[in-house]
Amino acid sequence: MNIKILGAGCPKCRRLEKNVRTALENLNIEADVEKVTDINDIMKYEVMMTPGLVIDGAVKSTGKIFTVYELEKLLTKLQ
């Protein structure tokens, strides 16, 4: 599984990344987590609001900070 956090490094982006890593750890799921901060790379996903969450190439959210619980539900469905 490949997960990308899209954003310039704002507090919301960092919080989403932390929640993603916590959910992965709680579920014992191995995944590559990548922070994408370059605006040109973010625009390739047509994301206008950050943070953005991309899992295996599909945009799952924009402008939202998923809770750890919400991420656990989402990641469980995607396994």
DSSP β-bridge partners for residue 52: 6, 62
Query: For 42-68, what is each residue's pLDDT tens digit?
Result: 999 999 899 999 999 999 999 999 999
For the chain, the structural domain boundaries read 2-78
For residue range 23-36, list pLDDT tens digits in order: 999 999 999 999 99
Hey, what are 48's tokens?
Answer: 């206008």
Q: What is the pLDDT of residue 1?
A: 95
Fold observed for domain 2-78: Glutaredoxin (3.40.30)
pTM for the model stands at 0.94
Instruction: Output DSSP code: residue 68.
Output: H
Total H helices, total E strands in the chain? 3, 4
Residue 79 scores a pLDDT above 90 = no
Q: Catalytic site residues?
A: 10, 13
pLDDT per residue as tens digits for the range 61-78: 999 999 999 999 999 999
